[in-house]
Amino acid sequence: MMQAPFRIALLPGDGIGPEVVSEAVKVLQALEEVLGATFRFQTGLIGGAALDQTALPLPPETISICNSAQAVLLGAVGGPQWDSKRPEVRPEQGLLQLRQRLGLFVNLRPAKVLESLVNLSALKPDRVRGTDLVIVRELLGGIYFGNPRGIFARNGERMGVNTEVYREHEIERVAHRAFVLARTRRNKVTSVDKANVLESSRLWREVVKRVALSYPDVELDHMYVDACAMRLIENPTSFDVVLTTNLFGDILSDEAAMLTGSIGLLPSASLGEHSALYEPIHGSAPSIAGRKRANPIAAIASAAMMMRYSFRKEDVADAMETAIERVLKRGVRTPDLPGRKRPLTTSRVGDLVAAETCKLLRHATSKKPSRRRK
Q: Which residues are catalytic?
A: 144, 194, 226, 250, 254
Residues in the chain: 374
Helix-helix angle 91-102:60-67, to 10 degrees: 40
Closest CA relative to residue 10, chosen from 33, 28, 32: 28
Q: Which residues pair with 13 in a beta bridge?
A: 76
Residue 181, CA atoms < 13 Å, CB-side half-sphere: 26
| Contact assessment for residue 238 and residue 227, using Cβ atoms and an 8 Å cutoff | no
